[in-house]
Chains A and B, each alone.
Chain A
Amino acid sequence: MRRFLQRHMSQIALSPSLALIAIFLYGFIAYTAAVSTTNSKAFPRFDNFVGLEQYWRLLHTPRWHVAFTNMFLFGGLFLLVTISLGLVIAILIDQRIRAESFFRSIVMYPMAMSFVVTGIIWQWLLNPTLGIEVMVHQLGFTSFRLDWLTNPDTVIWALVVAAFWQGCGLVMALFLAGLRGIDEDIWKAAAIDGIPAWRVYVFIVIPMLAPVFLTVVVLLALSIVRSFDLVVALTNGGPGVSSDLPSVFMFDMAFRRTNLGLSAASAVVMLGTVLAILIPYLYAETRERA
């Protein structure tokens, strides 16, 4: 018996975690998938199987359409802004500047902030009667308008700027690490050939950062699918439902509208979206290793 314990201590030590994850992760995913095939309202019930009707209903819910489209709109803009500016800032910081660690820390500290805090800060800054708009007016530009929070057509930009402010530090740090990992001799060779720095960046360095781009895109994409707190704190989905995201929709259906079946269907779609991002990535990763 003692020998058995000694020999299998590793498995024994892992088994509680494995059991918890098996139940709370895989079991619960299956549970949610099962609920999504029922007509559950406030409580999950399994005696009212409706097949894929909830998914069909989801497809015909205008609010879900807004939320799902927003995810791609917000996601696309956020990716574009964060990756391009994150890379530019990393390049700026990589120029052997003075006080480098000072600039780095300033770009990165927002990572320590929760999305709730980030949302509140930007809600304040973008407030048309108190925030940046008023400040610009007082500088004399009285026609300046910054009504992102109140305009359904531009509210997505409020999410983008806040998410960028919070997430840029990480992206910048990843790019900076990538830049620092590039062989110095490439710069020397390019200098000898008389190639201008911007060309070296565009044609040599940035292509070499391809793996970092891939990592960053996957990281940001996962965080986009999951973003919830930022929307709740910054716009609460508004004005109207114009800045709704799937996560907010799902939460609303589950806890406020008591429509668990539909909520479960939306959660499953979210999981599906993550898998759609992840599987090609993991496939590429493993092929690279092999």
Chain B
Amino acid sequence: MIDIRVSNCNKSYGSLRVLKDINLEIERGEFIVLLGPSGCGKSTLLHIVAGLDRLSSGEIEIGGRDVTDVEPKDRDIAMVFQSYALYPTMSVRSNMEFGLRMRGKPMSEIRPLVEEKARMLHIDHLLDRRPSQLSGGQRQRVAIGRALVRDPKVFLFDEPLSNLDAKLRASMRTEIKKLHQSLGTTAIYVTHDQLEAMTLATRMVVMKAGEIQQIGKPEEVYHRPVNLFVADFLGNPGMNFMKGHLRLDGGRVSADVGAATLPLDGYAFEVAPVAGQAVVIGLRPESIQPASVQMSDGGAPYALTLKPILTEHTGSDNLVVLAMGEQEIVGKFPSDMLPKLGEPVAIGFDLSRVSVFDAESERRI
């Protein structure tokens, strides 16, 4: 059942088009992550769903009701802000009570509700403090608590974790995931952090310059990016790109990338390939391994002998920069395999994971 529908939504500030014809349908209970570089319009889209910004054209539906002209307070949503936006002059308790009090709920019902949610988030001992007396992580919990007590139809999160340090961020991420699993409330979550997006999302929406690039499950977007931008934006270290042309020999397709000719027999082309077509071959570092390592499909990898020119130890694995003709590619080796610089090694390419993009349109073919 569709819970939120954004149709043909445009937003401009003066002559600046911030959102361009956005269409998005969200099912009840989904956890949608909006991902994209800073300034691409994620917050604007979220604020439009919230009703905080008016759209220039288009429609918004929540729960089957057209809310395009409905005030934020009447949309039955709750929002968690990057800056937390806790009311500085009110206690934690008043912060959490505020929304319900504005809705005229009797205090006898509000009190137990606030205390229950506070216990759930382990902030019950902080209820009488002011926000300024809390740590960053505690403020974050209060901000989430304030949204929880409202028991809204939709949760909106605008980069809620980006002000926390790396460790707290990881643990809050898990907690938000657990919360969503237990409550099942529809949520839209904005972030520019791909790790958050990959781990939290049931579906993610990748945006660039006010346009949606791709909508899909995290693994789908990760493994089958629709264009070079999405391919490049996800993954750390980023996807390897090799420039080349397509070859067609009696029904068999391969890509000549200079130093090698990669067979693309297993690749599911979405557009019929053309001989000589300029393409970019994308392959993630984890699909480039020593030839001795088993590949994801269990089959024998396509193997090449390449010269390592730089290695980087990251702890869990070794990143190895390999010379491949004039181009350089990065492979992700297990941590116990550290090749010697300058000594050629046999490298396996997991070509079942390859992506092929048209060099001109930059789209997946």
> Is chain B in direct contact with chain A in the complex (CB below 8 A)?
yes
Q: List chain B residues, Cβ under 8 A from A7.
A: 71
- Residue of A with least CB distance to B71: A6
Binary flags per residue of A1-16, CB closer than 8 Å to B gives 1, else 0: 0010011000000000
Beta-carbon contacts under 8 Å, B31-78 to A: 69, 71
Q: List chain B residues, Cβ under 8 A from A6.
A: 71
Interface size class of A (residues with CB under 8 A): under 10
Q: Spell out A's residues near B (CB within 8 Å).
A: 3, 6-7
Complexed CA–CA distance, A6 and B69 (Å): 12
Complexed CA–CA distance, A7 and B71 (Å): 8
SS class, residues of chain B in contact with chain A: loop
Q: List chain A residues, Cβ under 8 A from B71.
A: 3, 6-7
Complexed CA–CA distance, A119 and B312 (Å): 78
- Residue of A with least CB distance to B69: A3
- Residue of A with least CB distance to B73: A6
Minimum C-beta distance from A234 to chain B (A):
48
Q: List chain A residues, Cβ under 8 A from B69.
A: 3
The 4 A-B pairs with the shortest beta carbon distances in the complex, nearest first, are A6-B71, A3-B71, A3-B69, A7-B71
Beta-carbon contacts under 8 Å, B66-103 to A: 69, 71
| Chain A to chain B contacts (Cβ below 8 Å), 4 pairs | A3-B69, A3-B71, A6-B71, A7-B71
Complexed CA–CA distance, A3 and B71 (Å): 8
Complexed CA–CA distance, A87 and B71 (Å): 54
Complexed CA–CA distance, A6 and B72 (Å): 11
Q: List chain B residues, Cβ under 8 A from A3.
A: 69, 71
Complexed CA–CA distance, A124 and B71 (Å): 65
Minimum C-beta distance from B98 to chain A (A):
18
Minimum C-beta distance from A3 to chain B (A):
7
- Residue of A with least CB distance to B54: A7
Minimum C-beta distance from B360 to chain A (A):
37
Complexed CA–CA distance, A44 and B132 (Å): 60
Minimum C-beta distance from B317 to chain A (A):
44
Complexed CA–CA distance, A7 and B53 (Å): 11
Minimum C-beta distance from A135 to chain B (A):
56
Complexed CA–CA distance, A7 and B73 (Å): 12
Minimum C-beta distance from B72 to chain A (A):
11
- Residue of A with least CB distance to B74: A3
Minimum C-beta distance from A7 to chain B (A):
8
Complexed CA–CA distance, A6 and B51 (Å): 13
Minimum C-beta distance from B200 to chain A (A):
34
Complexed CA–CA distance, A7 and B69 (Å): 10
- Residue of A with least CB distance to B70: A3
Complexed CA–CA distance, A3 and B74 (Å): 11
Minimum C-beta distance from A52 to chain B (A):
42
Minimum C-beta distance from B214 to chain A (A):
35
Complexed CA–CA distance, A6 and B71 (Å): 9
Minimum C-beta distance from A2 to chain B (A):
10
Beta-carbon contacts under 8 Å, B182-198 to A: none
